[in-house]
Amino acid sequence: MKILVTGANGFIGSKIVKKLLDLHHDVIAVDLSNNLVDSRAIFIQDNIFSEDVNCFLRFGQPDVCLHLAWRDGFVHDSNAHLEDLPKHFYFLKNMIDSGVKHIAVMGSMHEVGYYEGAIDENTPCNPRSLYGISKDALRKALMVYCAKKEVNWQWLRAFYILGDEVNSKSVFAKIYQAAQKGEKRFPFVSGNNMYDFIHIEDLTDQIARCVCQDKILGIINCCSGNPMPLKNVAESFIKQHGLDIKLSYGEFPDRPYDSPCIYGDNSKIKQIMKGGKV
Pairing of strands 185-187, 26-31: unpaired
SS3 state at 219: strand
Tell me whether residue 131 is one of the annotated catalytic residues.
yes
DSSP 87-103: HHHHHHHHHHHTT--EE
Maximal C-alpha separation, the chain: 56
Pairing of strands 2-6, 26-31: parallel
Amino acid at 204: T
Report the alpha-carbon distance of residue 154 to residue 173 in Å, rounded.
Answer: 29
Pair 134, 86: CB distance under 8 Å = no
Report the alpha-carbon distance of residue 2 to residue 63 in Å, rounded.
Answer: 5
**Choice among 90, 114, 115, 131 that is catalytic:** 131
> Known catalytic residues?
131
